[in-house]
Amino acid sequence: MSPLLFLLLFGILAYGIYFTDSLALRDGVRAAARDGSLQSWGPAAGGCSHAGTGNTGGNPSPEIQRLACNAVSGLGVVGGSSAIKIAVFSPNGSGSYDEDGPWKQGGYIKVCAAVQQSIIIPFIPLPGDGLKHASVKMPIENDDSANRIFYGGHDAPLPGDNWSWC
Predicted confidence at residue 94, as pLDDT, reads 64
Nearest CA among 9, 143, 134 for reference residue 76: 134
Q: Does any domain span residue 163?
A: no
Q: Does any domain span residue 162?
A: no
Q: Does any domain span residue 23?
A: yes
Q: Does any domain span residue 160?
A: no
Question: Residue 102: which domain range?
Answer: 2-154
Residue 60 DSSP one-character state: P
- Amino acid sitting at position 118: S
- Amino acid sitting at position 17: I
CA atoms within 13 A on the CB side of 8: 5
Predicted confidence at residue 46, as pLDDT, reads 67
Q: Does any domain span residue 55?
A: yes
Predicted confidence at residue 135, as pLDDT, reads 94
State if pTM tops 0.95: no
Q: Does any domain span residue 116?
A: yes
Measure the CA–CA gap between 107 and 102, rounded to whole angstroms.
9
- Number of separate domains in the chain: 1
Q: Does any domain span residue 128?
A: yes
> Which ranges of the chain have pLDDT less than 50?
none
Specify the pairing of strand 108-117 against strand 80-91.
antiparallel
Q: Does any domain span residue 75?
A: yes
DSSP assignment string, 33-60: HHHHHTT------TT--TT-EESSSSPP
Predicted confidence at residue 147, as pLDDT, reads 62
